[in-house]
Amino acid sequence: MEDLDTNEVDDKKLAKLSIDELTRLFSENINQQTLKLIEGIEFLVDENFEKFMESMKYVIKTNTEVNIKKKFESKIFKSKLMFSKADRLKLFNKINDIKNIGEFLANKMLLYRIVFPDDTFKLQMLDILKSLKIISNEISEAVKLIGSDLSKAHVVCENIKEVRRSMRKKEWKLITRLYNYDMDYLSRTFLYLKELIETIMMLADHIKNFSEYIQFLATKYLIFD
Amino acid sequence: MAAELSSILVIVLIVMAISLAFSIGANDETLSALVGARVVKFKIALIIGGIAIGAGMISFSKGFVAKTVGADILGEGITYTYFMLLTVLVSSIIWLVVGSFAGIPLSSTHSLIGSVFGVLIVYALFQGDVNPETALNWTKLGNVVLSWFLSPLFGFLVTFILFKVIAKFYLSRLKGLNQIEKSERNFKWILLLAVIFAEIWVGANSGEALGILYGLFDKGSLNLTEYFFYAVICAIFAGIGIYVAARYVIKNLASQMIDTRPSEGIILQTSSAIILMIATIFGLPISHSHVIVFCILGLSVAQKKEVDYKSLGKMGIFWILTFPIAALLAGLIYSGFIYFGLP
C-alpha cells in the first residue's frame, strides 16, 4: 500500500484500496488521533491550554475516518469472501471504538480547565500516558500484521496485555493519591481527574480487549502442522 | 384378480421407489458447504447438485448397490415377493418417520437392510421349504454390516490423514489473513468439484430406491428397458428432491457454515466421497450421514478441537438399534401380510 496522507485521502484513492488496506489506513488514522489525544493531555499537564485545546479539537474532527469507514462498509457488504467477512467487520468496528472512546474523552476534557494538584501527580499521569502511547502504537502495528503475519500479531498483542497490566498498578497508585488529597470529593477538580483517569483506563481496557480479539483471530485462522 | 393385484402392487412399488428417490434428494445436505462458501448462486448450486446426484444414481443403476439390495442379499433361488418389497418400504418409512419426529438422526440404508433381513427371516420361518440359514446371502449381509462399521472408521482416518498432509505441506505455511483469504478463494473452485464428486457418489450409493426396482427386475416384473426407464425417473426425482425440498435444510446449514473454510469443506467432501466410491464399487450400501459425521469427527480431532462424545455416543446407540428395530418391525408387518394370506 502506498503511503497515504491519512488526512487527505480522496474518494477515488479510497475506492482503489482493498479491505485490508482500508483497515490498515483506518487503524493508522485512529492511532494518529489517539496519539494526538495523549499529546493534548500532556499539554494539559504542562498547563499549555492553547495547545491542549488544539489537540482536543483535532481529535473531535472526524471527516477522514468517516469516509474510510463508509468505503469499508460498502466494500465488505459486497465482498464475496464469506468465511472471514464477519471477523473483518468486527475488527474494523473495534478500531472504530478506540476513536469513539478517544472522542468521548476529548469532549469531556473540554468541559473544564483544570490545573493538576502537584508534580508527583503530573509525573504519574505522564507515566500512564506513556504506557497508553505504547499500546496505541502496538495495536496499530498488530492490525497491520493481521494481513501478513498472524503469529507476529499474536506476539505484539501479548506485549499489549503486559503493558496494560502494569498500567492497572499505575492507575491504582494515581487514584489512591487523588483520594488522599485534601479536597472536597464533589469538587470539579476531583471529579475531572477521577473521570480522566477512568476514561484513559477505559481506552486501555478496550485496546487490551481488542488485542485479545486479534489473538483469537490468530488462533482461529492459523493452522499448525 | 391375482394378475390385477400384481399389476397394482407393481405400480404402487414403482411409485414408492420414485418417492424414496425424491426423499433421498430431499434429505441430502451435501451442497451446504458449497452454498455456505457462496461459490455459485443458490439456485445454480441446487441444479448442479440435482444433476450430479441423478447422474450418480443412473450411472451405477445396472448393478452395484441396487443389485445388492435388490438381489444379491437374498439367498440362492429366492426372489422378493411384492408384499416383501412393500413391507421393506413401509417398515423403513415408519422407522424413519418415528426417528424424524423423535429428532433422532437415522440411516435409511440401515433401516432398509434391517427390514430386508426381518422380512426374509419371517418368510423363511413361515415357508416350510425355505431354510432360514439359506434365505439370506449371509456373506453379502456380513460384508454389508461390516462396511457399516468400517466406512465411518475409514471416513475418520481418511479425513484425519488428508487434513494432516494438507496442513503440513500447505495450510501451515499460510501466515497472514490476506494469504489465507487468497488461498481459500482459490479453494472455492476446488470445493465445487469436490461437492460434485461427492454428490455423484451419494447418488451412486443410494441403493434404496433402485434396490426396490432391481428387486422387481430380478423377479421379472420389469424388463431391462423398463428398469432403466424407472431408474432414470428415480434419478430425475432425486434431483427434483434436492431442488424442491432439500433447499431449506441446505440454506439452514449453509447459514451456519459461513465461518467454515472452503479448504475444510474440500477435505470433508473428498473423504466422504472416497469412502462412498469404494463402497459403491464393492456394491455395499452404506450410510452417508454416518460417514460424514465421522469425517467431521476426524477433522475435529486433527484440528485438536473439542468433540461432543456424549452426543456421539447417543447417536451411536440409535445407529446400532436401527437394524434390529427395522428388522423386528418389518418381521411384524410381513407376518401380518402372511396371516391374511398375502405372502
Q: In this predicted complex, what is the ipTM?
A: 0.84
Residue A173's CATH number = 1.20.58.220
Q: Which of B177, B184, B306 to mutate to test the interface with A (most CBs of A within 10 A)?
A: B177
- Mean pLDDT value across residues B108-127: 91
Query: Does residue A2 lie in a domain region?
Result: no
Residue B294, pLDDT > 50, answer: yes
Residues of A in contact with B174 (CB under 8 A): 222-223
**pLDDT tens per residue, chain A (225 residues)?**
444 445 556 778 888 899 999 999 999 999 999 999 999 999 999 999 999 999 999 998 867 788 899 999 988 888 877 788 889 999 999 999 999 999 999 999 999 888 898 999 999 999 999 999 999 999 999 999 999 999 999 999 999 999 999 999 999 999 999 999 887 766 888 999 999 999 999 999 999 999 999 999 999 999 886
Is B261 close to A83, i.e. CB distance below 8 A? yes
| 248-307 in chain B: CB under 8 A from chain A | 258-262, 303
Query: Does residue A111 lie in a domain region?
Result: yes
Distance CA A7, CA A30 (A): 11
* Beta-carbon pairs below 8 A across chains A and B: 57
Query: Does residue A151 lie in a domain region?
Result: yes
Check if B225 contacts A (Cβ < 8 Å). Answer: no
3-state class (DSSP) for residue B222 = coil
Query: Does residue A215 lie in a domain region?
Result: yes
Asked whether the beta carbons of A200 and A126 are under 8 A apart, the reply is no
Handedness of CA B112, B116, B118, B122 (dihedral sign): positive
Domain span holding position A17: 11-221
Distance CA B77, CA B63 (A): 18
Check if B185 contacts A (Cβ < 8 Å). Answer: yes
Handedness of CA B256, B261, B264, B266 (dihedral sign): positive
| Partner residues linked to B202 by β-bridges | none
**What pLDDT does A9 receive?**
62
Query: Does residue A217 lie in a domain region?
Result: yes
User: Which triple of cell numbers denotes residue A127?
Assistant: 507515566
Q: Any residues with CB less than 8 A from the CB of B296 and at least 6 apart, and which?
A: B159, B268
Residue B51, pLDDT > 80, answer: yes
Q: How far is CA A210 from CA A65, A66, A155, A218, B91, in A?
A: 19, 20, 14, 13, 57
Q: Any residues with CB less than 8 A from the CB of B65 and at least 6 apart, and which?
A: B204, B205, B206, B207, B210, B211, B279, B280, B283, B284, B285
Q: What are the tens digits of pLDDT across the range B253-265?
A: 888 777 788 999 9
Query: Does residue A3 lie in a domain region?
Result: no
| Residue B246 phi, psi dihedral angles, 5° rounding | -70, -15
User: Which triple of cell numbers denotes residue B197?
Assistant: 464428486
| 34-53 in chain B: CB under 8 A from chain A | 36-38
- What's the gap in Å between the CA of A223 and the closest CA on chain B? 5
**DSSP symbols for A99-159:** HHHHHHHHHHHTTS----S-HHHHHHHHHHHHHHHHHHHHHHHHHHHHHH-HHHHHHHHHH
What's the pTM value of the predicted model, to 2 decimals?
Answer: 0.84
Is B175 close to A151, i.e. CB distance below 8 A? yes
Residues of A in contact with B261 (CB under 8 A): 83
Query: Does residue A6 lie in a domain region?
Result: no
Find, in chain A, the residue whose alpha carbon is nearest to that of B162.
A225
Is B175 close to A224, i.e. CB distance below 8 A? no
Query: Does residue A5 lie in a domain region?
Result: no
Distance CA A87, CA A95 (A): 12
Residues of A in contact with B178 (CB under 8 A): 20, 147-148
Task: Please count the structural domains in chain A.
Answer: 1
Check if B168 contacts A (Cβ < 8 Å). Answer: yes
Residue carrying the nine cell digits 441446505:
B250
Report the run of H or E that residue B16 belongs to, with start and end.
helix B2-26
